[in-house]
């Protein structure tokens, strides 16, 4: 009887306390949610940081691996092509160097692959070819084509620098391209046998002709605001530009093309022209320095220039002052003209290098 009363009492007590127990459980549940949310907020930056570290370490491992592989391949290519570089340094043309290697050893194949497949031709590296400025890679190149040709068009270029090169027959085994008489040609193109071609000019803000060695230097059919001719030695000279009113000019173009620079190399010819019909080429500063040539004339024509400097050049090769190795024709019109320290000196043909 007593046990029955005790059980009934407990049941009544549980029934009375049940609502309070449920309320307490819900309070505890809400408290756990608040605690979990708080911990998640506190730990989320740490988790994100650890995830970023894992991604960073993975990416850096791949970059380090690729860099190590690239270094190994570059070293291998340099070893393979070293005989070719040595022969070029000794003055041989690219064709002769490749020919000797191909005939004399198995290195020739490796050189050709390295130079033409794995190493893309480049103006900056001084590879021969036809370049459409401002592209650094040629639109045409061939192992038998050893002209450095740069075609300028409507896209203006800020600065073009070509220096320290040998041209024409100035090195052993070279010859001018078939049908050509100019070792260097800089300027526009006039319509001749092609009646559909509209004449072009090369527009230059500042043109620097510096330390050339030429058998002949002929400047004609040009408009130059300020012409500076100074310190030139020539085997006979005729400097006869005429005054006029050419305007001063600089070449703008806003976000224009990148500068183009190359130095060192051996070529049968250098051509810088405006080759598209009716489209003038445009460059703000064109610097051509230390060009050594033999076997033909150096010709500049169909130019429109703000300032043109012709300084410290040596021109001649027939040992006669009667013939005029250095000429500035009456078709050259200037606004202002500085003509100082130009002398006539008997000169022999430039020596081959």
The per-residue pLDDT for range 199-233, each reduced to its tens digit, is 999 999 999 999 999 999 999 999 999 999 999 99
Q: What's the number of domains the chain is made of?
A: 2
The predicted pLDDT at position 144 comes to 86
Domain with 248, as residue range(s), is 142-344
With respect to residue 205, please indicate whether it lies within any of the assigned structural domains.
yes
Model confidence pLDDT, tens digit, residues 92-107: 555 555 555 555 443 3
The secondary structure of residue 256, as a DSSP letter, is -
pTM of the shown model:
0.67
In a domain, 282, yes or no: yes
What is the Cα–Cα distance from 121 to 116, expressed in whole angstroms? 7
Number of Cβ atoms within 10 Å of the Cβ of 263: 13
| Residue 50, in any domain of the structure | no
Per DSSP, the residues of 322-343 read SS-SEEE-TTEEEEEEEEES-E
Mean pLDDT, range 327-340, rounded to an integer: 97
DSSP per-residue letters across 82-117: HHHHHHHHTT--HHHHHHHHHHH-THHHHHHHIIII
- Residues 338 and 203 grouped into a single domain: yes
What pLDDT was estimated at residue 236?
Answer: 93
Helices (H) and strands (E) in the chain, counts: 3, 21
| 136 falls within a domain | no
Q: Determine how β-strand 216-220 pairs with β-strand 303-311.
A: unpaired
- pLDDT, residue 81, reads 52
Does a structural domain hold residue 181? Answer: yes
- What per-residue confidence (pLDDT) applies to 87? 57
User: Do 152 and 292 sit in the same domain of this protein?
Assistant: yes
Burial 230-248 (b: 16+ CB within 10 A, else e): eebbbbbbebebeeeebee
- Report, as an integer, the average pLDDT of 22-46: 70
CA 93 from chain center: how many Å? 22
Distance CA 2, CA 18 (A): 24
Residue 235 has pLDDT above 50, yes or no: yes
27 and 163 both lie in a single domain: no
Q: What is the DSSP letter of 257?
A: B
- Average pLDDT, rounded, for the chain: 82
- Closest by CA to 218, choosing from 313, 147, 343, is 313
Asked whether residue 166 falls in the same domain as residue 291, the answer is yes
- Tokens encoding 133: 């400025």
**What percent of the chain shows pLDDT beyond 70?**
75
The answer as to whether 62 is a domain residue is no
Determine the Cα–Cα distance for residues 99 and 101; give it in Å rounded to an integer. Answer: 5
Residue 59 lies in a domain: no
Contact 111, 101 (CB under 8 A): yes
Give the pLDDT band of residue 45 (cuts 50, 70, 90).
low
The predicted pLDDT at position 114 comes to 41
Asked whether residue 76 is domain-assigned, the answer is no
pLDDT given for residue 40 in this prediction:
63
% of the chain at pLDDT higher than 90: 46
**What are 59-115's pLDDT values in tens digits?**
788 778 877 777 777 766 665 555 555 555 555 555 555 555 555 443 333 344 344
Q: Is the pLDDT of residue 260 over 50?
A: yes
Average pLDDT over residues 230-254: 93
Rounded Cα–Cα distance for residues 146 and 287 (Å): 21
């Amino acid at each position: 009887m007593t046990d029955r009363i005790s059980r009934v009492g407990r049941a009544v007590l549980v029934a009375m306390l049940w609502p309070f127990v449920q309320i307490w459980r819900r309070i505890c549940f809400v408290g756990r949610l608040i605690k979990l949310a708080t911990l998640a907020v506190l730990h989320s930056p740490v988790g994100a940081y650890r995830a970023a570290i894992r991604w960073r370490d993975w990416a850096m491992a791949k970059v380090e691996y690729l860099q190590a592989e690239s270094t190994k391949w570059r070293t291998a290519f340099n070893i393979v092509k070293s005989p070719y570089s040595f022969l070029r340094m000794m003055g041989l043309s690219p064709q002769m160097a490749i020919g000797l290697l191909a005939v004399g050893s198995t290195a020739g194949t490796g050189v050709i692959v390295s130079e033409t497949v794995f190493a893309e031709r480049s103006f900056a590296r001084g590879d021969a070819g036809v370049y459409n400025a401002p592209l650094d890679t040629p639109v045409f190149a061939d192992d038998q084509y050893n002209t450095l040709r740069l075609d300028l068009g409507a896209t203006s270029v800020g600065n073009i620098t070509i220096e320290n090169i040998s041209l024409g027959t100035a090195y052993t085994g070279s010859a001018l391209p078939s049908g050509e008489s100019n070792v260097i040609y800089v300027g526009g193109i006039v319509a001749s046998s092609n009646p559909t071609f509209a004449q072009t000019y090369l527009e230059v803000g500042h043109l620097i002709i510096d330390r050339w060695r030429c058998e002949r230097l002929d400047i004609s059919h040009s408009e130059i605001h300020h012409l500076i001719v100074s310190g030139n030695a020539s085997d006979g000279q005729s400097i006869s530009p005429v005054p006029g009113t050419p305007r001063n000019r600089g070449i703008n173009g806003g976000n224009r093309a990148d500068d183009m620079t190359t130095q060192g190399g051996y070529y049968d010819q250098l051509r810088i022209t405006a080759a598209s019909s009716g489209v003038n080429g445009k460059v703000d500063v064109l610097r051509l320095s230390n060009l050594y040539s033999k076997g033909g004339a150096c010709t500049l024509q169909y130019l429109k220039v703000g300032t043109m400097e012709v300084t410290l050049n040596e021109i001649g090769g027939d040992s006669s002052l009667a013939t005029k190795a250095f000429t500035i024709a009456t078709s050259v019109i200037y606004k202002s003209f500085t003509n100082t320290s130009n002398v006539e000196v008997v000169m022999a043909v430039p020596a081959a290098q």
